[in-house]
Amino acid sequence: MSLGYSIKEGFAGFGRTKLASATSTFSLFIAVLLAGFLTRGGYALYSLAVDLTDEVQMEIFFAPISDDRIQEFGDYIEEQPWVESIMFTSKETASERFRAEFGDGFGSEALAELDFLPASYTVTMTPETPIEEIQQQVERLEEFQEVDDIAFNAALYQQLRSRVDQSIWVGISVASVILIASIWLVFNTIRLTIYAKRDTIKAMKLVGATNAFIRRPFVIEGVLQGWIGSLLAFGVLDALFRWAVPLAIPQMGIVPWPLGAWYYLALSMFVLGTLIGLLGSTIASHRFIRLA
């Protein structure tokens, strides 16, 4: 059985049932566009939330101890699995910052000279570490004699982390609903196309065509609808974020592409459109050509 023939028939089928094909392509276009919009918008919001979470750091202030001991302690902290990075601030640097922040007024220079600002480590935690574990680590570190104090806003950190988690779940749920709905739409459109062509399918079966032979052009038609729908969706999405969103909400500016480049999202949308078209048409043709 010629694959070339099936491809040719798949393309021809697109023209033969224009209304059904256009309906299916449109539903696919909407699904992929929504998925793309959610991905781009959601990714921007997610990045913002992660950046904010990263800004919630832990500061470990040291009692007056030697530089070598502080260095040893820093090495120890850096080895911990819940630590992503650490940054050292010496007493001198802390004093300079104090001066820079408060200027010379109110005797701040004199206060800085008193040498009361301690050396510290600013610790960034790995995002996957649970808040409960971070709190346990804080309590454990506070027990070291070398440690004078630890500043960590657990409540803010917890709130940000739970918002990020919630937004991920909401995104996955919405995307799943869109995906299932679009597969269902393509499935039903192909089913209607098969119903409209039942006499033709019956005639095909009478001359000895196997179900697989009849099915293949329908599947190719579904994939073709996926390609067209996803390419259109990407074009509209690009136009939306390039012109419409900055025009409507100027303070947003140009929303960045996920992972920093347009082609990741373009490819994902193309693959998604192809998969929806492929799945919808395969399921429908498997179920209904047998019965036609």
Partner 1 sequence: MNSVLELDHVSLSYQGKPVLAECSMSLQEGDFCYLLGPTGSGKSSILKLFYRETKPTKGDVKLHGESIQNLADRKIPFIRRQLGVVFQDFQLLHDRNVFENIAFALRVTGTPSSTIDQRVKHLLDLVGLGHKKKEDVRVLSGGEQQRIAIARALANDPDVLLADEPTGNLDPGASTVIMELLHQINKEQNVTILMVTHDHSLVKRYPGKRLELKDGTLYDPSVTPTQRLSSI
Binding site for partner 1 (CB under 8 A): 1-2, 5, 16, 197, 199-200, 202-211, 213
Q: Which is nearer to partner 1, 180 or 203 (CB)?
A: 203
Cβ 189 to partner 1 shortest distance, Å = 18
Q: Which is nearer to partner 1, 16 or 99 (CB)?
A: 16
Cβ 10 to partner 1 shortest distance, Å = 13
Q: Which is nearer to partner 1, 214 or 233 (CB)?
A: 214
What is the number of other CB atoms lying within 10 angstroms of the CB of residue 284? 25
Contacts of 205 (CB under 8 A, 6+ apart): 214, 292
Contact 227, 270 (CB under 8 A): yes
Q: 86 - beta bridge partners?
A: 123
Cβ 281 to partner 1 shortest distance, Å = 18
Q: Which is nearer to partner 1, 47 or 200 (CB)?
A: 200
Cβ 196 to partner 1 shortest distance, Å = 10
Q: Which is nearer to partner 1, 12 or 48 (CB)?
A: 12
C-alpha pair distances (Å), 47 with each of 74, 189, 256: 29, 38, 10
Q: Which is nearer to partner 1, 35 or 201 (CB)?
A: 201
Cα–Cα distance, 289 to 198 (Å, whole number): 8
Contacts of 229 (CB under 8 A, 6+ apart): 25, 26, 27, 28, 29, 31, 32, 273, 276, 277
Q: Which is nearer to partner 1, 87 or 203 (CB)?
A: 203
Cβ 203 to partner 1 shortest distance, Å = 4
Contact 230, 24 (CB under 8 A): no
Cβ 289 to partner 1 shortest distance, Å = 12
Contacts of 281 (CB under 8 A, 6+ apart): 186, 187, 190, 218, 219, 221, 222, 223, 225
| Strand arrangement of the beta sheet that strand 83-89 belongs to | 83-89, 120-125, 58-62, 147-151
Residue 287 phi, psi (nearest 5):
-75, -40
Cβ 163 to partner 1 shortest distance, Å = 55
